[in-house]
């Protein structure tokens, strides 16, 4: 699924809720993108754990600047084919990642950048060759089931089911 906004969004606050199950130890759950910068939030299953990578302040989209990524890892064996719920929230520099209602991991970003620029949310992977090249992610597309997805309290899967015309959804 792909969610495309009409214009670039600049945010300092994000809330993501994602419910999934998989038997695969590696897969891209979600990634945001923009035409103009390298900013992104990436949620993935990696080595059976939840990996959240946040990149802010990368002005040149072609610049590979992984040292600016803030990475949090949560859980283990999430590829057990059981349902798991991931919650990620950001308030400026403050990050919180929680898996299955357990004690959340908290961290802070460092540096002067606290604004995320984004226009598109890719849920479950990247589906076009040019996206894969421009996003420079090495995580394969997610294989499994995604049951629930909220981004800033908007239930995108439910919107897609109801064929809402407020947001452009491509599945």
Q: For the segment 7-61, what is each residue's pLDDT rounded down to a tens digit?
A: 889 999 999 999 999 999 999 999 998 888 888 999 999 999 999 999 998 776 5
Q: How many CB atoms lie within 10 A of CB 108?
A: 9
- CATH code for position 6: 2.60.120.200
Burial of 160 (0-12, 13-18, 19+ CB in 10 A): middle
Would the pLDDT of 166 be above 80? Answer: no
As for how many domains the chain has, the answer is: 1
Give the predicted TM-score (pTM) of the model.
Answer: 0.85
Range of the domain at 132: 2-170
Which tens digit of pLDDT belongs to each residue from 71-107?
A: 999 999 999 999 999 999 999 999 999 999 999 999 9
Task: Please say whether the beta carbons of 72 and 95 come within 8 A.
Answer: yes
Handedness of CA 119, 56, 114, 73 (dihedral sign): positive
DSSP 8-state class, residue 11: E
């Amino acid at each position: 699924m792909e969610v495309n906004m009409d214009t670039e969004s600049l945010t300092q606050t994000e809330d993501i809720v994602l419910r999934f199950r998989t038997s695969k130890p590696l897969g891209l759950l979600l990634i945001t993108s923009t035409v103009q910068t390298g900013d992104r939030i990436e949620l993935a299953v990696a080595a059976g754990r939840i990996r959240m990578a946040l990149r802010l302040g990368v002005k040149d989209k072609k610049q590979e600047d992984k040292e600016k990524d803030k990475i949090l890892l949560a859980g283990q064996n999430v590829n057990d084919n059981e349902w798991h719920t991931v919650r990620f929230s950001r308030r400026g520099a403050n990050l919180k990642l929680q898996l299955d209602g357990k004690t959340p991991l908290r961290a802070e970003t460092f540096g002067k950048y606290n604004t995320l620029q984004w226009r598109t949310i890719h849920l479950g992977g990247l589906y076009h060759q040019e996206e894969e090249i421009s996003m420079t992610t090495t995580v394969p597309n997610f294989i499994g089931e995604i049951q629930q997805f909220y981004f800033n309290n908007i239930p995108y899967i439910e919107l897609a089911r109801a064929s809402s015309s407020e947001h452009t959804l491509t599945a």
